[in-house]
Amino acid sequence: MMDQETRMDHRKKLVKEATKGYFADLNATRRHGGKKWIAPPVLIREDKSLYLPDISGTPLDSPDKVHTTDLCLGKVSVISMLSSKISEIQCKMYVEPTVNEYNDHAHFQHIQINLQENPLKSMLVSFFASNIKKTLPKEQWGRYLISGQNMDYIREDLALENRHIAYVYLVDTACRIRWAACGDPQPQEINSLRQCTSVLLKRLTP
């Protein structure tokens, strides 16, 4: 019985180690200015990257829920995770140069996810959806999702630890996270997002 328990415990540790992603490793070593980790200057290798978990939400242009997996497949996506006014400001600083440069590219998109895991907050955000529409161009409404999804099961692997700050992910056409940042943006992080996006888009050019 003890041997079986020992084997199971060892197996759990091996599985955890094998599935531990880039962010878990970086979390253990990087601390800078209150940030949990610093965005990588280059793309995360495919074999080290995690797949973006499927997040469902209601877009501004429809009452029907959509899924990020469906939205992201075949596109290079910059994803802004919004949860507070501070996170909105931070996300805008991160993504604005990249969005301005590549928004007209056929294979690029910017997805905003207003994530409110508290049911009451999620309901309040839904009530104010019409106000959010006024701040966005109409063509962006289908890529602005209001979500109340519980993220507890994937929070650690994605380093989604602080419910108040910004998280920005660059996702490739196969839904792999190839770059990520959090908190207050640093100039080199803003630039690396733009450069990494450029690399992924160039790889799609015949």
Q: For the chain, which residues make up each domain, given as ranges?
A: 2-203
Each residue of 127-170: pLDDT tens digit?
A: 567 788 889 999 999 999 999 888 888 777 677 877 788 999 99
Between CA 102 and CA 198 the distance in angstroms is 8
**Architecture of the domain whose range is 2-203:** 3-Layer(aba) Sandwich (3.40)
pLDDT surpasses 50 at 26: no
Each residue of 77-127: pLDDT tens digit?
A: 999 999 888 889 999 999 999 999 999 999 999 999 998 866 666 666 665
Which amino acid appears at position 131 of this protein?
A: N
Query: Interior CA angle at 138 toward 133 and 144, to 5°?
Result: 60
C-alpha distance from residue 88 to each of 52, 94, 161 (Å): 20, 10, 17
pLDDT surpasses 60 at 2: no
**Residue 13: which residues within 8 A CB-CB, separation 6 or more?**
none
Beta bridge partners of 179: 170
Confidence class of residue 3 from pLDDT cuts 50, 70 and 90?
A: low
Q: What is the pTM of this model?
A: 0.81
pLDDT (mean) for 27-47: 72
